[in-house]
Structure 1
């Protein structure tokens, strides 16, 4: 199984509905629990950005292979395609220009993934491209393409030398799109910005490479859309010029049409004014849209949202009552390519909801594309829980569209949507006195009826349509894809997601960080309880805490995902506080002129930035330059900084103070390997865990305890592996089923004992065992009442170092007495 298949999880409609309500919480939980990024496909199904400017399609041409190449003026961070291309550098450091804009818009996961990729595979060579997750961008993927760098005002010789690299970068983009079945890709003018490649030559090379790729049959029959997207007018004009000049003579058509070849395929007639598109039925009727008795009525409105403007909108306003105007005035738009959509209640109308679509300010800005996308967007939204929707004839009023165009475009949109195999009744409602509009729709249906009839003579339409529709659905089925440098993390994230989306009327989330939820968190729990109509209860007993949720299955899943995200935030806040204290115990930052620098919080921030290799950091209106070790205040005054290591001097460990490094099985000591083998476990990965700060604190404690450390084991959940490497062992991370010997940190002297001490996590795919050096020192038998080691001879200043069961189980009460050595990941299926 490939890494991509391993990280890919198809979604059924019920799961889509759940994730639609809690996408943000889901992605945050996956990131926090597994250091893994979740990318949800079918962006329109999960919501989109609002309030964005509209994309402008300047030119379109279709190649003989069926691939469409179009030129757009748009902000690439908002452009809606399956994948956008980033003009990246070799290190995938997105610190300027388009790269920074995409990274900022997509959120921190883009840079995090890039850093992990470079750490694992090295730099991306010039002329190459790699596929990664798009974070919060309105697409599924981002393709990082590294174009060539040339000097400002380059010579012809320099651009000639760079040209093959630019061509190869574009070729790699196209190869990725074809290989990964990406339906649409947006390519900017690579290398023409910060990399100084001449804009006109850049446009020529990109378009010529697309042409050559087709000539060598590179598209393999894929229905790919290539968008050449730039936000600056000069680049857009050059792309349009190059596309017309190089591709137009080789294309099927050089204009944009709202219809597409084959959209009517699979349509059969059911009556004179009804047609069947697969599972969708289209009805044509005369009537008043405001009197329709369906689930959803569509209204066409001006961008001002004044419902009294326009005959249809005004009729709906009068019928619904003034409340509908008040609601739409408060509503935020759902943006789509071509306009905005507002959803309101029906009030006095005989429907459930009203979709108000705003296509353009006036007729000059209106396009057939906007109309097509507007109808399609309404259909997509209606498919979520509704069975019927009624449209008026959109665009023939103030927008000035020709009636025959409206009939063709609206029917095209219905036919395209029908490929999703969605059961829906769609009504086109024509004003009773508008005979010309009715005639236009009837002619369109007659034309399609004739095409359908002739198709039946040639072949079995139903069978061919079903096959094509199933293939389209298979390619476009909504999915969650998990990205991580670790395939084990991918599998765990996928298994966790499956467990969270499994329909059940009760769910228990076990996480001891429930005790760190604050007042605001408890208020949020009450809000979730009301929002999803579930019962939420916290528990903490025998050293184990968590939250139980009961209610209807889909509501339980939604609430559980939100609760997981909340607990992960509490967990991360706890870890950051521990991290701060650990660092402050081994290193201090100070500034004689600015005493506030010496706080644990500020010192930790500076230390992490220093170890990360940052040249400078800005906070609290001050700037710290690490190379010169100076602090600059907002008045430009310089002060000397000082970094003091309290124990032993140390520098960065892989740009941090901790690291996980993959090692061979031989890294585990012979005794540990033998114990795992005796228990029937197969090791799939071993990671060396290093932490400079923890090492120094452990060494200090070793001097105090004096006795040699023991090599002990702890079984942990997948979500705590990275946290233990960061902040060491904590009692919250791995409480056993019963804390018989005290409220502390438990270890076992054998693998067998560890597997018995900690209960199995049902949904986890692997067994995670951490091998550690533990300072047990002077020990005595434990008791479940202990929160500290008992005193020796009643002296409160003289206590035992640990407690035990006088057998395999050992308990310490300070994380600084244990040092994680390695993480051993075993195949769960091999356990006997």
Structure 2
């Protein structure tokens, strides 16, 4: 018999999970001890590879990090913010578990010795990550000023670290297992060291600083006393000296005992219950629920409050409007129009915004904000209404996070759209929680409820209460029925080693789990096939040699018959670890290649320029500005210059203003769903070519659009004076999005055999594509891209061709493609093909 109360709790959890899922797919994978040991050594590389390959977030649960193997990627999913509170001055003090060499702040603190000789512990790790210049700069300080006394601090640049400064602080060094008397004698020196750090922060106007448990490692200062002294020093410095109100102080350590001591000390010394909050992995809060409550979702702070949305003082205000963008319709929209003035209606009516988007961006005008995001939703009776509302909230959050720090939403959908208030509370809160999982930046989110709408306030508060109870009282897993898998994965993952996957695509999630299973499968040999091996640089090859030595494995690169990769042999556990690090390295090379292609493609169709600042027109900066413009950002910073993308003005670091121009070189174009490319679910059945492979079942169809690539394709169509053919290419899961971004590349989909030349292969049928790419049986699905391809003048190919042969002996006049004269075509210029649809099949 199953206990009735237990069944009820499980049932509620399953129902809530099913409601929240919609098209959002989540997955959880338990780890056995051998798998846990592998991911403890290379978890950072694993998370990075999963994200790049499958656009899927992987979060390691209860996997203690034992040290990075040496991956050169940055793992944003490993940082864990444990606690946060604010001082009376507004300064935020937070406790983090993270690697200080990767932590993203303006300044990090190094536990240095008097000679600034960074030869061990944290100092050595920071120098290894930041480069040899850190030691050289430190040596200059010693030569010029002499030793740094205990209790003092100096600062240098940070080299290759993801920060601007390193503050080298010299704390007291104690003997192992120091006595209370020795600790008491050393305590004032530690206090002075923290004070010296804070003085540098104040003097240099540093906005964020990461401080470790200074002197507690190699210098043997007791952790508990160390944490108390550091926190007390911060508190007293704030009381007597006063920080800048926007300062963030991160107390960062990568060992669990130090993190716990810091959290304890902050709670005991700093916490004021009205503004404190904690979280670890999921939302947790012991605060009383009220209209002024704050709730933490990772880096996102969600506040529920009453008021008028048009009176909000934030960076972004969200409005809800009708499809015709008439701001005088609807209570919220009308209130915003009355406060902002007629110019806001004029801007949204000028025709700059495509109807294809559900979020239109304007300035704030007379409102107390920088921008207004006008959202368009559909009535509740529409089958896609729930998903559209979720997507609209998610899109507003994504856009805000790219340049702003605060955003306020009204309760969207409860008026003419017909949503029930509990539905709106659930959908909007789910969207914030899901967005927060992959968001890297701090963002304040406000749900603003009209004061008289008590029912709406109650719905939001009930949603928060349910989440808080779920986080504080997890359901215990019993293997009762498969239907309880959701509840099991939510709770057991917090008790045993596991990987939690999160993706908007169930196909991507399945591929990520299958790849993880294969990577962690014990084997003394593993081969990774990826043609981006040819783009590995000198540093990458040095890392491969280092991996080979550290893990006692053999690593061999290969490139033959148009296919490249790396083979690893050795002890099974070390092979898995090395393979994951290599996958991450190849993903980094792949992304750098894609960014370069993306930059060149955008630079071919649009240019940003400024007469007073010529370097704006470089391909890198022009493409960067274009992407920010298409994303709907109002402002964008480049070096010390600020560009207003809407007004087309630039302000340099001296405050001088200049005009900026955006010139479309071919046809004018604007944003395509906040980017230059998009993937949209396709419901029509008349787009597939004449001969789809009948042995496969279609599970998803997506329309692929790329406005920059389309313009270049049209230009090539005129150049070749050719009508395109409808052809197919089979690709791996990790290259679907890349092809939409930058078009077809021979590195993305090398066929099993290059019989007709070293180029980009296509087939006139899906059946033919299955035969050309018959070595992708390790994936869960089959991915076919339908494209329009310009084959022009074609001739029979052969394996030795790296370019099409000359037409009549003139090396500058060549064929446009090669073929087998049946159904296989090979082109050598990716701009001769335009991806149209992605069709995903099951076997």
TM-score band, normalised by shorter chain: 0.5 to 0.7
Deviation for aligned residue 1:593: 1.1
- Native 8 Å contact 1:58 1:73 kept in 2: no
Aligned partner of residue 813 in structure 2, secondary structure: strand
Which residue pairs with 1:37 in the alignment? 57
Deviation for aligned residue 1:43: 6.0
Which residue pairs with 2:38 in the alignment? 18
CA distance in 1, matches of 2:756, 2:397: 46
Equivalent residues in 2 for 1:498-647 (5 A)?
Answer: 498-647=517-666
Q: Which moved more, 1:163-172 or 1:19-28?
A: 163-172
Deviation for aligned residue 1:619: 1.3
Which residue pairs with 2:434 in the alignment? 132
Which residue pairs with 2:685 in the alignment? 666
Aligned partner of residue 508 in structure 1, secondary structure: strand
Which residue pairs with 1:804 in the alignment? 819
CA distance in 1, matches of 2:663, 2:780: 44
CA distance in 2, matches of 1:116, 1:558: 40
CA distance in 1, matches of 2:636, 2:442: 29
CA distance in 2, matches of 1:687, 1:716: 14
CA distance in 1, matches of 2:438, 2:728: 39
Matched, 1:749 2:764: yes
Aligned partner of residue 723 in structure 2, secondary structure: coil
Distance 1:789 1:81, change over 3 A: closer
Deviation for aligned residue 1:676: 2.2
- Native 8 Å contact 2:283 2:468 kept in 1: no
Q: Which moved more, 1:477-486 or 1:46-55?
A: 46-55
TM-score normalized with structure 1 length: 0.56
CA distance in 1, matches of 2:491, 2:518: 28
CA distance in 2, matches of 1:95, 1:535: 56
Matched, 1:49 2:263: no
CA distance in 2, matches of 1:756, 1:117: 43
Deviation for aligned residue 1:664: 1.5
Which residue pairs with 1:682 in the alignment? 697
CA distance in 2, matches of 1:624, 1:472: 47
The counterpart of 2:728, out of the listed 713, 724, 733, is: 713
CA distance in 2, matches of 1:648, 1:41: 50
CA distance in 2, matches of 1:58, 1:528: 41
CA distance in 2, matches of 1:766, 1:474: 27
The counterpart of 1:168, out of the listed 456, 459, 480, is: 459
Q: Deviations over 1:320-355 (max 9, x none)?
A: xxxxxxxxxxxxxxxxxxxxxxxxxxxxxxxxxxxx
Which residue pairs with 2:780 in the alignment? 765
Deviation for aligned residue 1:685: 0.4
- Native 8 Å contact 1:533 1:551 kept in 2: yes
Matched, 1:733 2:753: no
The counterpart of 1:118, out of the listed 381, 394, 405, is: 394
Q: Deviations over 1:108-127 (max 9, x none)?
A: xxxxxx97972599988574
Equivalent residues in 2 for 1:415-564 (5 A)?
Answer: 476-564=495-583
- Native 8 Å contact 1:78 1:137 kept in 2: no
Which residue pairs with 1:9 in the alignment? 29
Aligned partner of residue 730 in structure 2, secondary structure: strand
Matched, 1:87 2:386: no
Distance 1:136 1:591, change over 3 A: closer
The counterpart of 2:448, out of the listed 141, 149, 171, is: 149
Deviation for aligned residue 1:802: 0.2
Deviation for aligned residue 1:665: 4.8
Q: Deviations over 1:259-314 (max 9, x none)?
A: xxxxxxxxxxxxxxxxxxxxxxxxxxxxxxxxxxxxxxxxxxxxxxxxxxxxxxxx
- Native 8 Å contact 1:132 1:143 kept in 2: no
Distance 1:89 1:795, change over 3 A: farther
Deviation for aligned residue 1:481: 1.7
CA distance in 2, matches of 1:470, 1:563: 30
Q: Deviations over 1:598-640 (max 9, x none)?
A: 1111110110011010001011111110111011110011111
Aligned partner of residue 769 in structure 1, secondary structure: strand
Q: Which moved more, 1:622-631 or 1:714-723?
A: 622-631
CA distance in 1, matches of 2:394, 2:490: 36
CA distance in 1, matches of 2:501, 2:607: 39
Distance 1:136 1:562, change over 3 A: farther
Aligned partner of residue 790 in structure 1, secondary structure: coil
Q: Deviations over 1:426-461 (max 9, x none)?
A: xxxxxxxxxxxxxxxxxxxxxxxxxxxxxxxxxxxx
CA distance in 1, matches of 2:303, 2:705: 30
- Native 8 Å contact 2:548 2:554 kept in 1: yes
CA distance in 2, matches of 1:470, 1:768: 29
CA distance in 1, matches of 2:801, 2:552: 40
Which residue pairs with 1:324 in the alignment? none
Distance 1:765 1:470, change over 3 A: closer
CA RMSD between the two structures: 3.8
- The unaligned stretches of length 5 or more in structure 2 are 1-13, 67-77, 79-96, 100-211, 213-250, 252-261, 285-295, 317-389, 399-408, 413-423, 478-487
- Native 8 Å contact 2:476 2:492 kept in 1: no
Distance 1:177 1:500, change over 3 A: farther
- The unaligned stretches of length 5 or more in structure 1 are 60-69, 98-113, 151-157, 185-218, 225-468
CA distance in 2, matches of 1:471, 1:641: 51
Deviation for aligned residue 1:649: 0.4
Equivalent residues in 2 for 1:205-224 (5 A)?
Answer: 222=475
TM-score normalized with structure 2 length: 0.55
CA distance in 2, matches of 1:624, 1:586: 20
Distance 1:686 1:116, change over 3 A: farther
Aligned partner of residue 748 in structure 2, secondary structure: coil
- Native 8 Å contact 1:54 1:74 kept in 2: no
Distance 1:34 1:562, change over 3 A: same
Equivalent residues in 2 for 1:331-370 (5 A)?
Answer: none
- Native 8 Å contact 2:493 2:500 kept in 1: no
Equivalent residues in 2 for 1:819-830 (5 A)?
Answer: 819-828=834-843
- Native 8 Å contact 1:55 1:73 kept in 2: no
- Native 8 Å contact 1:37 1:133 kept in 2: no
CA distance in 1, matches of 2:435, 2:459: 22
CA distance in 1, matches of 2:828, 2:599: 19
Question: How many residue pairs align between the two structures?
Answer: 506
Q: Deviations over 1:714-757 (max 9, x none)?
A: 00000000000000000000001111111100001111110000
- Native 8 Å contact 1:663 1:687 kept in 2: yes
Distance 1:474 1:794, change over 3 A: closer
Distance 1:80 1:805, change over 3 A: closer
Q: Deviations over 1:396-445 (max 9, x none)?
A: xxxxxxxxxxxxxxxxxxxxxxxxxxxxxxxxxxxxxxxxxxxxxxxxxx
Deviation for aligned residue 1:495: 0.9
CA distance in 1, matches of 2:650, 2:791: 44
Deviation for aligned residue 1:675: 2.2
Q: Deviations over 1:786-824 (max 9, x none)?
A: 111110110112110000011111000000100001000
- Native 8 Å contact 2:698 2:841 kept in 1: yes
Matched, 1:817 2:832: yes
